[in-house]
Amino acid sequence: MEFRILGPLEVADGDAVVPLGGAKQRALLAILLLSANEVVSVDRLIDELWGERSPESGVTALQVRVSQLRKALGAGGELILTRAPGYVIRLEREQLDLYRFERLLGEADAAEPAVATAKLHEALALWRGLALSDLAYESFAQPAIGRLEELRLAALEKRIEADLALGRHAELVAELEALVTVHPLRERLRGHLMLALYRCGRQADALAAYQTARRALVEELGIEPSAPLRELEQAILCQDRSLDLAQPPAPERSLLVILLADAVAAGLLAVAAPLARRPVRELVLARLVDDRSDLSAATAALHDQRARLLADGIAARAAAFTSSDSAHDAVRMAAELECDLLLLDAPPELLDSPILAEILIGAPCDVGALVGGGPQPGPLLVPFVGAEHDWTAIELGAWLAREWRVPLRLAGPSLEDRDSSRLLASASLAVQRALGVAAEPLLLAPGADELVRASHDAALVVLGLSDRWRKEGLGTARGALARSPMSPLLLVRRGLRPGGLAPRESLTRFTWSLRPRSA
């Protein structure tokens, strides 16, 4: 059940709006919601509901209203509890739109402009008009309405500031001109309008906007503009370079997702998003299509996916391209973007395709190829025998397990000629020390069947690819896993960057043979 006060009071149960009954019941619910999860005393409830005209038996009248409200809420009536000295409504944070609004504001405060503006747009979209507008004439509601409206306007100013930082000044001018008409005394909005006009090349209009703001403040309040607004006017007069749009620093790292088919986007993004949450790591979505007629639909789908990523706090950009050689274009993009991981979809029929081979061999970065759908509930499984490519898989698997908060299992065969349990334990300890992720060693009987069975309930199987996989194949057990995956499978090949967790003895070495030079 969802409770909404950022607009007319409303309660929703799924898609249905719950009838709340008469005015007193609605007012009672509003009072409780404004102090959600806090006890509101009987005396305060009586005073705010009836004021000086409270009935002789105010306590009894209140009990009747509480009973009627509980009945109107149906199963949600259990949320209203009797707690001395009054009543409390117990809600989860996501049940009240005000709590969601405040959460999004907090997330925006700690985010870069691209993410912040998406969060603030989402927060402001929760508003359906003036808060508690259907109770605006109730004396108890008026202070709360004023406080909430101030919160909304502050969020709006922050959103505009983030949009200005992203270079959206031209599209903001009309909105700001309308806002300063409605809120003529808000200096922050006036300053945003002046800056937007200046960045549009309209210096004279920006200075005129300052004079308009000054007249409003002098005539209405008898005061001069504040120091920040006066300093902004001087900076505009001098064409101070600090007013120019700052170019954002290039991200130190990026993660490229190549979509060869729209149907796999959700699965790939479920893997990519956790890996893109690391600092200054940008997620780049690219959809390669071989028919120009598909380009507009692919572009629209990408923009929707990017909007969802931004709303989730992930810096992202997206573009769709026509490509007659998807493998070549994927490798080229990975090199030009200097990304450290390329993810792409790899349906089973693509495993033996030259397209996948060319990308895996040619891309300078780590490459992950997702076979099957997106991750499902369960632990994350990494087959491990101690080779360099297994450490690549562990590193990626550990990051995913940490972000998804699922168990990480390292599965290795029990072989007589070496201490397999010690190898798995050492790998588990390395993961714990390096990434703070507990990895459970899972010792299996040799053979493909055991590994396939172990993968049955996995959220994702991360399988490292040797540099020699094209010549030597995946091996019996891993090949069986790739050909008929019981769970989603991510094939990972290490690129040219230095190894992460891999111990020195697992890394590939070059050997040289010397012979005498002929005379």
pLDDT in tens, 174-206: 999 999 999 999 999 999 999 999 999 999 999
Report the DSSP pairing between strands 86-89 and 253-259: unpaired
Q: How many residues does the chain have?
A: 519
| Residue 503 token pair | 């111990």
Domains and CATH numbers, the chain: 1-154 (1.10.10.10), 167-248 (1.25.40.10), 253-371 (3.40.50.620), 380-504 (3.40.50.620)
Q: Where are the alpha helices (DSSP H) in 110-226?
A: 113-124, 141-165, 169-182, 187-199, 203-221
CA distances from 465 to 359, 375, 382, 387, 494 (A): 13, 20, 12, 10, 8
Cα–Cα nearest to 59, from 71, 75, 45:
45
Report angle CA 444, 445, 448 to the nearest 5 degrees.
90
Residues near 374 by beta carbon (within 8 Å), at least 6 away in sequence: 266, 267, 268, 270, 271, 488
Helix (H, G, I), strand (E, B) or coil at 277: coil
d(CA 408, CA 65): 53
More confident residue, 376 or 218: 218
Q: In what order do the strands lie in the sheet with 460-464?
A: 316-322, 281-289, 253-259, 341-345, 366-371, 489-493, 460-464, 380-383, 408-413, 439-444
The residue behind tokens 């990017």 is 306
CA distances from 260 to 232, 257, 355 (A): 49, 10, 11
Task: Tell me the per-residue pLDDT of 460-488, one tens digit each, with 9 for 90 and over.
Answer: 888 887 766 555 555 666 666 666 666 78
d(CA 356, CA 474): 14
User: Is 382:427 a contact under the CB 8 Å cutoff?
Assistant: no
pLDDT over 50 at 515, yes or no: no
d(CA 474, CA 390): 12
pLDDT band for 518, please (50, 70, 90 cuts).
very low
Residue type, 350: L
pLDDT over 90 at 133, yes or no: yes
d(CA 287, CA 269): 13
Residue type, 270: A
Report angle CA 354, 355, 357 to the nearest 5 degrees.
60
Q: Tell me, what DSSP letter sits at residue 323? A: -
Q: Tell me, what DSSP letter sits at residue 241? A: G
Task: Tell me the per-residue pLDDT of 109-122, one tens digit each, with 9 for 90 and over.
Answer: 877 787 888 889 88
Cα–Cα nearest to 28, from 63, 1, 57, 66:
66
pLDDT over 70 at 59, yes or no: yes
pLDDT over 70 at 77, yes or no: yes
- At 218 the pLDDT is 96
More confident residue, 231 or 337: 231
Helix (H) or strand (E) holding 463: strand 460-464
Buried b (16+ CB within 10 A) or exposed e, 214-235: bebbeeeeeeebeeebeebbeb
Task: Tell me the per-residue pLDDT of 199-238, one tens digit each, with 9 for 90 and over.
Answer: 999 999 999 999 999 999 999 999 999 999 999 999 999 9
pLDDT over 80 at 280, yes or no: no
User: Is 250:315 a contact under the CB 8 Å cutoff?
Assistant: no
d(CA 174, CA 290): 40
More confident residue, 335 or 222: 222
